[in-house]
């Protein structure tokens, strides 16, 4: 199953991340005609932020040890906690069922959109992705493809490299969940907003090259071939 999640507040016509995730699915679909694709637009259908009932239930589950999702209902104590679990379980189930998780992630104020952060907070329920028998991650073989779009340049060696709190955050988060390094692909398109401000002509060339490289890498990943030749994974 492909779990496709977009988080841009822009419509597809104005969103680089949406256009790139669409490219991935266009290549992926014909190659997996029998596979399911689950789509979530976190901007159009936001995930509710956490409440005190969520944290109370989460702490109770942590005290009980490694509790798989199907045993969580036995620890629920009130209607508010039941509601939080009702909102959480479908999202967790989607991630567990996915062979590939595809994320469209624009950079907002140097980090990820609040809509995506709300999804991350909710699916990160204690023990949800841990094998209760072995303690190992259930996401070890899950492939995560995150499409990162940012209006400026934040890559290695650029003056704003230090301000990129998007790439390291996503890498840290998914590695902490147990996604294997070889299954984590962060594909970046930079300088996507050079048309909005005065700029040296060379930036247009760099923007076009960055977008072309991202498209090539996503096409290769969707086809199951890994990173495009000559492209070093982020």
Fold of 2-222: Rossmann fold (3.40.50)
Q: In sequence order, which residues have a C-beta less than 8 Å from that of residue 62 and are 6 or more positions away?
A: 126, 127
Distance of CA 27 to the CA centre of its chain: 19
Which pTM does this prediction carry?
A: 0.92
pLDDT at residue 165, as a whole number: 94
Domain ranges of the chain: 2-222
DSSP assignment letter at 231: P
Q: Do 193 and 152 form a contact (C-beta atoms < 8 A)?
A: yes
Angle between helices 16-31 and 201-222 (to 10 degrees): 30
Per-block mean pLDDT, blocks of 10 residues, the chain (234 long): 97 94 97 95 98 98 93 97 98 97 97 98 97 94 97 88 95 97 97 76 86 96 65 40
């Amino acid at each position: 199953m492909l779990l496709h999640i977009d988080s841009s507040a822009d419509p597809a016509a104005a969103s680089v991340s949406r256009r790139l995730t669409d490219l991935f699915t266009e290549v992926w679909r014909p190659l997996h005609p029998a596979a399911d694709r689950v789509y979530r637009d976190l901007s159009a259908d936001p995930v509710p932020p956490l409440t005190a009932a969520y944290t109370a239930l989460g702490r109770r589950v942590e005290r009980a040890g490694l509790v798989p999702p199907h045993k969580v209902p036995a620890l629920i104590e009130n209607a508010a906690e039941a509601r939080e679990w009702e909102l959480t379980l479908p999202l967790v189930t989607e991630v567990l069922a996915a062979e590939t998780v595809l994320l469209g992630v624009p950079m907002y104020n140097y980090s990820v959109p609040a809509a995506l952060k709300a999804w991350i907070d909710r699916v990160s329920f204690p023990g949800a992705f841990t094998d209760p028998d072995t303690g190992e991650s259930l996401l070890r073989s899950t492939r995560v493809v995150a499409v990162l779009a940012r209006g400026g340049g934040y890559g290695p060696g650029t003056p704003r490299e230090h301000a990129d709190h998007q790439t390291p955050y996503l890498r840290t988060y998914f590695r902490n969940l147990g996604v294997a390094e070889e299954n984590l692909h962060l594909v970046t398109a930079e300088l996507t907003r050079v048309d909005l401000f005065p700029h040296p002509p060379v930036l247009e060339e760099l923007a076009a090259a960055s977008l072309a490289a991202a498209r090539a890498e996503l096409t290769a990943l969707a086809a199951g071939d890994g990173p495009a030749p000559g492209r070093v994974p982020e």
